[in-house]
Amino acid sequence: MLTVVYGITSSTDMFMKSEFNHGNNVFACTYGKEEYQGQLAHSLEDLAQLDPTSISRVVICSEFVQDILKSLKSIHVDISKCFFFNHMREQLVPCDSLLTNSICTDSTLYAIYDLAYNLPCFDVITFIILAEQERLKQNKQYIQFIVLPSWNDSDAGVNVFHTKDDTQWRLEKVVKPMLSCLPSCISVEQPLNRNQIEVYQALNVVTYPDNYFQNNRQPAGDFKLLKRLVEENANLSVLTPPKQAQKIIEDYMRHYTQGKKLITLTLREYDANPEYRNSKLSDWLRFAQTLQGKGFYPLIIRDTYAMGQPLPSEFSHIPTYPAASIDVHLRLALYQSAYINMGIENGPLYSISYLKGARSIIFRRQSNAIPNLSERTNQNFFFKVGENHFFNDNQFQINAWMDDSFDNLLTQFQQLDESIQRSEK
């Protein structure tokens, strides 16, 4: 029985020296005319003349696996006989294990995050949750997210609240990574300009928001709809960090926490409304020290814009995780793995509400001096002072309507810790 070694490359040399080389080889390349160690390679046409029962396997030593498999299929070589030699890991991999899902337009919902009407920030989370519910309603298998620019061929766009550079940064570091934390997301695309949305319109695709092409000025994050879904007992906890991010955090915990319960402390240290919305740094660091003394493993996640700054020298022994400040996937994997997550309300912490089983204490101040913390905002988002947010995943996601003073941090933590322990008995 023959082994057909397909491809004359440096990988071929490595395969020939490997444990997978059982001898009795013939060499092949699509058009023939090449030699390997003095042996003329068969062309695809030559292979077609061989008795199929004489070929025990085909080992592909080339990166053009998809094209080669198509060629082999055309001469009736079954994929079950085909293997790819992965020289990077010195593995012989069955080609049928390399196949991806076939995807068609009809099985996909096209969710359009329109930057003419929506901000490049963690507000995108609400859009993701609602888009997933629409996918289920429409009985689609996948979601194609489209991040649509605010400009077109003839008109300039407008960047609200953020500079041009900051907007692009947030699209790449916040919006697109968050979109990919939905398992049904098949891809994220950002067209050159608004005119290119016409391509999808011509395909007559199903969109979210519904009827987008007839009315593109629909809110991407509709809290009225979110509330109705909660009242209908819809499952909103659909965010999942990628497996690679989960593995990295598992490795970190295995090497550093040493069995201690992980407590993430997310700081807000931003220059917008700092007197109302930023974390009280000294209180949080003092609290972190207290947690260490009680046998927990506190982990500081700095604000993205402060991640390059050191902590005050007296707190330099408290661990931080800078990667999570800049990588949304790692951040969500930490939040999912932690015993308790804590912070003052900010964009990244909003994701916790949609992580199945995650536990948290998120502090929220009140002030009519700024829109974000005003009574009007509470009403618009259906927030009730003193109560947990209606969209939280579980009873261990606490919204603490109070200042983030050291005493409040400690009291709220002790109460939730005791509540969790009681539930586990």
Is 399 in contact with 387 (CB distance < 8 Å)? yes
Q: Which residues contact 236 (CB under 8 A, 6 or more apart)?
A: 129, 133, 226, 229, 230, 353, 354, 391, 393
**What residue type is assigned to position 233 of the chain?**
N
**Model confidence over 280-301: pLDDT tens digits?**
999 999 999 999 999 999 999 9
Q: What percent of the chain has pLDDT over 70?
A: 99
Q: Which residues contact 148 (CB under 8 A, 6 or more apart)?
A: 112, 113, 114, 115, 116, 190, 191, 194, 197
Q: What is the pLDDT along the chain (425 residues), one digit of tens a residue?
A: 899 999 999 999 999 999 999 999 999 998 988 999 999 999 999 999 998 889 999 999 999 999 999 999 999 999 999 999 999 999 999 999 999 888 889 999 999 999 999 999 999 999 999 999 999 999 999 999 999 999 888 887 777 777 889 999 999 999 999 999 999 999 999 999 999 999 999 999 999 998 899 888 877 789 999 999 999 999 999 999 999 999 999 999 999 999 999 999 999 987 666 665 789 999 999 999 999 999 999 999 999 988 898 888 888 999 999 999 999 999 999 999 999 999 999 999 999 999 999 999 999 988 777 777 788 888 888 889 999 999 999 999 999 999 999 999 999 999 999 999 999 88
Is the domain 243-424 a CATH 3.40.50.2000 member?
A: yes
Is 59 in contact with 7 (CB distance < 8 Å)? no
Distance CA 397, CA 357 (A): 9
pTM: 0.88
Residues facing residue 57 across a β-bridge: 3
Distance CA 16, CA 14 (A): 5
**Model confidence over 172-182: pLDDT tens digits?**
999 999 999 99
Is 344 in contact with 350 (CB distance < 8 Å)? no
Distance CA 339, CA 360 (A): 9
Distance CA 401, CA 388 (A): 9
| Residue 229 to residues 133, 174, 237, Cα–Cα distance (Å) | 9, 25, 12
Q: For the domain 2-98, what is the CATH code?
A: 3.40.50
In degrees and rounded to multiples of 5, residue 159 shows phi and psi of: -100, 110
Distance CA 39, CA 112 (A): 56
Distance CA 135, CA 81 (A): 38
